[in-house]
Homo-oligomer: A and B are copies of this chain.
Amino acid sequence: MRILLVNGNTTAAITELCAAAGRAAASPGTEVVPLTPAIGPAVISSRLENAIAAHGMLEAMAPFAGKVDGVLLAVSYDTALEAARQLMPCPVLGMTEAACLTAMTVGRRFGLVTFGGVEIYRELIAHHGFSGRLAGLLGVSATPKDALDDPQAVAVQVNTAIAALVSQGAESIVLGGAALAGMGARLNSPVPLLDGIACGVRLLEGLAGLKLPRPLNGSLAPVKGRASQGLGDALAQALQG
């Protein structure tokens, strides 16, 4: 089985980190194929960058249609998720979506902890329809760079946030962003911690095995006969159908 792991930003080093996490979680026989977009923001941390990034991700993944068994969006805002589902003939998961789906099988309500602001996550979870299962979101005042420079100090903050979410009723914790997943052993939680890359790879393996047909109808049915201007060849051709 081949799982395409598509980064949302143009920084190849982050793609590699995520691919390594994906390989660690994968079953024997699963190949994780990393992919970095050629155009877009270096890192996504705002609504503006998020909106821009979708195009580059779709350009990057279009040539892989039919050549992989699943696609994992390795970007914690699940950027371009439904568009990727419409483009690709295989199962597609966003990493935060995957962590949330898992969370809902592990406890009744879940929390999300991240670096920085939480509003985009709040909306993402609402878009997924999971808000009723959300106990709370907390953003730690630290950057991924801080986590590299002084991991112990940042871990203290994250652990405080985890404890606060648990006291609000969280029975599992989604880690928002790859940097948090990387803190691994320093984190300390009375409830399961969920990393979207690991969850995404495992769930995609399961979903791919169901061999479900593509929808012929509805808002995710494949497009065809659609003209465009200024797009890369593979994406323009995918629109033509």
Contacts and interface: CB of A to CB of B under 8 A. Distances in A.
B107 A47 contact: no
B51 A83 contact: yes
A47 B101 contact: no
Interface residues of A, number: 89
Contacts of A175: none
Contact of A215 (B87, B104, B191, B223): B191
Given A93-B105, A202-B209, A219-B171, A230 B120 contact: no
Contacts of A152: none
Interface stretch (A15-23, A37-45, A178-186): A37-45
Interface of A: 10, 25, 27, 38-43, 45-52, 54-56, 58, 80, 82-83, 85-87, 91-93, 97, 101-102, 104-109, 117-120, 122-123, 126-133, 166, 169-172, 190-192, 194, 198-199, 202-203, 205-207, 209-210, 212-213, 215-220, 223, 226-231, 235, 238-239
